Amino acid sequence: MALVYECAWRVLHALLHIQRTLVSWFRTRIWNVNWRFWKRALATLFFPVTLGLHNHIHRTLKMGKPTIKRGYRRFAWGLDPGSLEKLPQHVGFLIAEEEPSYKDIANLIVWCMAVGITCVSVYDNQGVFRRNHAKLSDKILKQQQELLGLDSSKYTVTFLNSSNEKPNHQVLSCQMEVRVLSADDGRLGIARAAEQLCRAVELREKSSMDIDVSTLDSMLRDSQKHIPDPDLVLGFGPVRSTLGFLPWHIHLTEFISLPSHIEISYEDFYGALQRYATCEQRQGK
Amino acid sequence: MSWIREGELSLIERLSANILKAGPMPKHVAFIMDGNRRYARKRQVERQEGHTQGFDKLAETLRWCLNLDIREVTVYAFSIENFKRSKEEVDGLMELAKQKFSRLLEEQENLEKHGVCIRVLGDLMLLPLDLQQVIAKAVVSTRKHNKCFLNVCFAYTSRHEITNAVKEMAWGVEEGLIKSSDVSEALLSKCLYSSSSPDPDLLIRTSGEVRLSDFLLWQTSYSCLVFQSVLWPEYSFWNLCEAILQYQLNYLPLQKAKDLHKEQQALQQLEADRRCVAELLMHHGSGNGKPTDAQSRQEHLLSYVAEREERVQGFLGALQHRRDRYFTDLAALTALA
């Protein structure tokens, strides 16, 4: 009998895997098809005669600029961040996929910048981004220029790799901070703060009775450069877990999962922001 | 309504349970039972009725877990933040809790039969004394049971729990039981209220909210999180199966992440030990001025690790004793009253 159950379980999981693959396949397909369909529809609507030239028409029609910036073009599609009820201040990207695409992450960061999010954390539990932070920071600059064009000079990015690092230029001109986090900032960060407090107790500078939630919170906030707790974490990939993302700081964070960050579109990102805007926090009440 | 519900699954439920059980099953499941008030509003019944039905659903869910061989369940019953609610609602919830824990005491036989151990995690001092006493009695009377475990988080937030663990370690340092250099991630885990449980494999939150609301932040770092839109009093066996399926789909990558984390933790411990040994040698070695060779260094390291482990064990023993005493004393107070 156990064998029959095991077979049934295997069949069930095989079906689920097939369903998953199909869904993600369709997601990318439908997006592409949709995109082509809309281009054609708009072209037909406005310039019915020049149907064959829809690419050129679309360029002049939507952007008013001779070049289409991939990704940024979608700002023009009525997905205006101003229409959102609330916007997160600090967004975390939790990448739980084997092969990270630096370009897509850079795109996401530039979109955040453009909608007015002031702080972004990029996290993976294996420390891939921490090791390759230079690559990511280069990509951000590149995408910033490509997507925002001339506007990009208005935005300054401060890039922090580890929590002990000082910002490399003055924060005054900065509109956005990007941090790269790894598992070391999580539980280990709390344990380090605890060790520091215990050392103060050992040296008789503090008593154990002095320790409360706000002591620990302010210590951990210091180690995170006084950046507010993340309001929203976007988890990319099939894994449904925080994978050790700043356990102390996520007490009120909303988690939204997206299937993958690879080839992510502005619509998907905007959809997640929209979902965040509808989340209501009752703060225990 | 009692805590333990007798009864079996229907044929189709049993069949599905057996199929699920052919795969990896979570050993410990945590629930954020959200949506009682929305349920009451939807059904146009009193708010308190929503909470009562929520409790009944917990009893039912515990039975499903037992049928599915899930031996440990942790539930978020009342957050410290919930004290901000209206006095009427807080009083109602305290009364409900008192009633249910008293009821639990009447069910001793049943609890013994199933070997249910009840633990209450949280800052009990924040509760009315009579409720504290009933809780202590329930905890003490089921302490020896070891077949299944129900952890009720009451007057709990994870930040408080972590802070409390830091305080306990600071107490250990004050008492001279441990050194500040013994503080580590592993030690902190063992000072949490949940020290006797493994980390939950699966966390389920109902009613469509997608945050942790200060619940088990530390312990769920590598757990599978499942957010379901159903309101808690409407939770069904099939919802639970769906969550377990999600867990099974996430099983391998999560296992990998956990293993990686364990490796990193071991490395950090080794590094910390080496640092301490180097410091010690600096202190003692400065007298004779001889450089130490690799072999004696290794010996020093081994003996240091043994000493540290002994210190930590002694401290954890003292901590456990102190916690047990707290509950025993509280329960004894009731006997006198």
User: Which segments of chain B does DSSP mark as H helices, in order?
Assistant: 11-21, 36-43, 47-67, 87-106, 108-114, 129-142, 158-174, 185-191, 237-288, 294-336
Interface subset of B 230-269, CB within 8 angstroms of A:
245-246, 248-250, 253-254, 257, 260-261, 264, 268
Question: Is the Cβ of A202 closer than 8 Å to some Cβ of chain B?
Answer: yes
**Interface with B, mutate which of A241, A245, A249, A281 (most B CBs under 10 A):** A241
**Cβ-based neighbour number of residue A200 at 10 Å:** 17
Q: Do the chains contact at A251 and B23, CB–CB below 8 Å?
A: no
List of chain A residues whose C-beta atoms are within 8 Å of the C-beta of residue B227: 255
Would you call B210 and A254 a contact, using CB atoms and an 8 Å cutoff? yes
Strand order in the sheet with B116-121: B116-121, B148-156, B72-79, B28-32, B202-205, B224-227
Check CB contact of A239 with chain B, cutoff 8 Å: yes
Return the half-sphere exposure (C-beta side, CA atoms, 13 A cut-off) of residue B227. Answer: 14
A171 touches chain B (CB under 8 A): no
Contacts of B312 in chain A (CB under 8 A): none
Q: Which of B173, B220, B226 sits opposite A242 (nearest CB)?
A: B220
Residue contact A190–B162, C-beta within 8 A: yes
Rounded to the nearest 10 degrees, what angle do helices B129-142 and B87-106 cross at?
Answer: 30
Closest CA–CA distance from residue B110 to any residue of chain A (Å) = 30
Which residue is associated with the tokens 């700081």? A249
* Tens digits of residue pLDDT in A164-196: 555 544 333 447 889 999 998 999 999 999 999
Look up residue B160 and give its amino acid. Answer: H
Contacts of A207 in chain B (CB under 8 A): 170, 174
pLDDT per residue rounded down to tens, chain B (337 residues):
677 777 788 899 999 999 999 999 999 999 999 999 999 999 999 999 999 999 999 999 999 999 999 999 999 999 999 999 999 999 999 999 999 999 988 988 889 999 999 999 999 999 999 999 999 999 999 999 999 999 999 999 999 999 999 999 999 999 999 999 999 999 999 999 999 999 999 999 999 999 999 999 999 999 999 999 999 999 999 999 999 999 999 999 999 999 999 999 999 999 999 999 998 888 876 555 555 678 888 899 999 999 999 999 999 999 999 999 999 999 888 666 5
Q: Give the closest-approach CA distance of B234 to chain A in angstroms.
A: 21
Between chain A and chain B, how many beta carbons pairs sit less than 8 Å apart?
172
Please indicate whether, in this complex, the C-beta atoms of A213 and B83 are within 8 angstroms of each other. Answer: no
Which residue from B minimizes the CA distance to A255?
B210
What is the pTM for the complete model shown?
0.88
